[in-house]
Amino acid sequence: MMTPSSLPGRPLRLGTRGSPLALAQARMTADALCARHGWHADAIQTVIVQTSGDRIQDRALAEIGGKALWTKELDRALLAGEIDFAVHSMKDVETIRPKEIRIAAMLPRADVRDRLVGADSFAALPASPVVGSSSPRRAAQVKRLRPDAQVVLFRGNVATRLAKLAAGEVHATLLAAAGLDRLGQGEVGTSIPLDVMLPAPSQGAVGIEALASNAPMLATLAAINDPDTFDCVMAERAVLKGLGGTCHSPIAALGRLEGGTIRLSAEILSADGQERVSDVRDIARRDTEAAEAMGRALLDSASAELRALFEA
C-alpha cells in the first residue's frame, strides 16, 4: 500500500451512508483517489454510518426540520476520529457546517436535471395526477406546472420509490437524474429540461469532507477536486445561505460556467407554486458574497407570505 508519508500508515477510512446510492458515490470517490494517487484498492476502507435521515422514513423531512439529518452522524464520526473523510451528496449537506469540518473536494458533476418517472412530460399526465415527492421544491414546481396535481409524501431510497410507482400508488414521481444514473438506472424516466424545472442547489454533486485541522488529508482530497463543479456548487449554496434556506425550502438554483464566469439561476416558490420569484445573474467564480446577495434579493422581491417560508 502506498500513501504519502504524511498520511497514516494504515488504510484511510471513508465514511458514508449505507444506501445503494451513497455506496455507489463512495466507490466512485475511492476509485478516483486510488487512480489519482496510484494506490491499490485496499488503501481505502469503507465505514458505513447510519444517519437520522436513514432511520426516519414515515415523515416529511421538512417536518422534522433542518437538523443535518444526513450528515450529523458522519460529522460526529469525523470529529471523533473514527473516519478520515466523509462522502456526501452535496444536496444533503447544510450550508452552515461545523467550523472544524471543510469541504475538501467535489467530484465532476453528473446530470443536474430531475427526471420525471411515470410519464414522458407533465402535459402527458392524466387529469388531477397524483405525484409522489417529499421535496418542497419539487412539490411547488409540480403544482406550478400542473395546478391540478396532488403531491403526496414519498420517501425511501430510489428502489423503494420506483417500487411504489410500479405498484400504482402514484401516477409519477421525480428523481435526480444523477442518482438514477449512478445506480445504473439511466434508462428510467425522462430528464426534464432545465427551463421547465430548475434543480435543487448542489444537485448531482458529490462532496468530500475532512477535518480542517488535517492538512495532509485535505491536500490528498483536493487532488481529485473538480474546480468547475466546486465553484458552481459553492455559488448555489451561497444563494441558499443568503435566503436563509435549507434543503427543506422550495428553492432551486443552478450555476453554469459561461466562459470564465458563473451564470447563476435561482428561484423560490410558494408551496402551491402560484408565486414564483426568479433571477439570473452572472457572477465571478468564488464571489460567494455576490451569490449570497442574489439570495437576499430574491427574498426582497417576494411577497410577505412567501418570505415567511424562509423565516422558520
Ligand X SMILES: NCc1[nH]cc(CCC(=O)O)c1CC(=O)O
- The answer to whether residue 291 forms part of the interface with ligand X (CB under 6 A) is no
Closer CB to ligand X, 92 or 94, in the complex: 92
Q: Is 92 a catalytic residue?
A: yes
Helices and strands (H and E) in the chain: how many:
11, 13
Closer CB to ligand X, 21 or 302, in the complex: 21
Closer CB to ligand X, 13 or 91, in the complex: 91
Main-chain phi, psi angles of 218, to 5 degrees: -60, -40
C-alpha cell at 150: 396532488
- The answer to whether residue 176 forms part of the interface with ligand X (CB under 6 A) is yes
Closer CB to ligand X, 125 or 205, in the complex: 205
In the complex, least distance from residue 192 CB atom to ligand X, rounded to whole angstroms: 12
Window of 116-124, 170-178, 210-218, 278-286 that interacts with ligand X by CB under 6 A: 170-178
In the complex, least distance from residue 199 CB atom to ligand X, rounded to whole angstroms: 8
d(CA 265, CA 252): 8
Contact 33, 106 (CB under 8 A): no
Contact 34, 43 (CB under 8 A): yes
Binding residue for ligand X, selected from 129, 132, 136, 179, defined by CB under 6 A? 179
Closer CB to ligand X, 16 or 203, in the complex: 203
Choosing from 54, 75, 84, 92, the catalytic residue is: 92
Amino acid present at 3: T
DSSP H helical ranges for the chain: 20-37, 52-55, 61-64, 72-79, 136-145, 158-166, 177-182, 215-222, 227-243, 288-300, 304-308
d(CA 16, CA 159): 19
Residue whose C-beta lies closest to ligand X:
179
Binding to ligand X by CB under 6 A, coded x per residue (else -) over 193-212, reads ----------xxx-------
Main-chain phi, psi angles of 90, to 5 degrees: -60, -30
Q: Which of 108, 91, 110, 86 has its CA nearest to residue 229?
A: 108
In the complex, least distance from residue 172 CB atom to ligand X, rounded to whole angstroms: 13
In the complex, least distance from residue 237 CB atom to ligand X, rounded to whole angstroms: 13
Main-chain phi, psi angles of 97, to 5 degrees: -110, 155
Binding to ligand X (CB under 6 A) within 68-127 occurs at 89, 91-92
In the complex, least distance from residue 19 CB atom to ligand X, rounded to whole angstroms: 9
- The answer to whether residue 250 forms part of the interface with ligand X (CB under 6 A) is no
- Binding site residues, ligand X, CB under 6 A: 89, 91-92, 175-176, 178-179, 203-205
Q: Which residues are catalytic?
A: 92
